[in-house]
Amino acid sequence: MTDKTYWESFKAESENVVKKIKALIHEGNVRRVVIQHQGRNVAEFPLTAGVIGAVLAPVLAAIGALVALLQDCTIQVEREKTEDTRDEQGRTAAR
């Protein structure tokens, strides 16, 4: 069985990045977070469904530090497609 994933990307904007990533991880379907600067991967953090706060804290601290240092970077998030995601995409395509 092949996993169905898709990527979301957004520009890093100071402390808002950490809040956004926390919210995405809380949704539960995030597999990986990649930080890019000028088109090059600077850091990649694989995540699993069982990630808890104590394990997540160093990752979020590292992401915050990288964003502060690099300033102009892009955050890419790999997510698993769920039934809800497929339904939303089907409704969007039908419009």
Query: Which CATH number characterizes residue 40's domain?
Result: 3.30.1490
* Calpha distance 17→19 (Å, rounded): 5
pTM exceeding the 0.75 threshold for the entire prediction: no
- By three-state DSSP, how is residue 57 classified? helix
pLDDT of 38-94, one tens digit each? 889 988 888 765 566 667 778 788 888 887 777 778 889 888 887 665 555 554 444
Q: Give the residue among 2, 4, 64 at the shortest CA–CA distance from 33.
A: 64
- List the domain range (segments joined by +) for residue 71: 5-94
Count how many domains the chain has: 1
CA dist 54 and 63 (Å) reads: 15
Treating both helix axes as pointing N-terminal to C-terminal, what angle do 16-27 and 53-70 enclose, rounded to 10 degrees? 140
